[in-house]
Amino acid sequence: MNHMAGSFAGKITKQSTLTPTDQPNHVMNIAEVHGTQKSSDPLWNNSKIAYWGVTDLLNGKGTQHGYYCDNHAGAGNDWGTFEAKVTTVSGG
């Protein structure tokens, strides 16, 4: 397996937040993010990434899941789904 290092800088382009009344400190969020990948792998370096995620937090901790699309210029696209654990820092 090849080693690859990189980073992603993205900007939220659309976002909506819902605060359900089922429990205190419950927040749900849906967002669209666009940005550029920087990578040591030339197939991933400067690829344009968009993802759409739903975050569900209780007391600042929870999950995020969604869809992504990576555009590698002339090399095509990758797309799929993701899941992640989320912890906010200082309420952010």
What's the rounded Cα separation, in Å, for the pair 91 and 78?
33
| Tens-place pLDDT, residues 44-78 | 889 999 999 999 999 999 999 999 999 988 888 99
For 74, list phi and psi in degrees, rounded to 5. -75, -5
Q: What is the pLDDT of residue 9?
A: 86
Beta strands of the chain (E only): which ranges? 6-18, 26-39, 48-58, 61-71, 77-87
The model scores a pTM over 0.95: no
Buried b (16+ CB within 10 A) or exposed e, 19-53: eeeeeeeebebebbbebebeeeeeebeebebbbeb
Q: Could you tell me the residue ranges of all domains in the chain?
A: 6-87
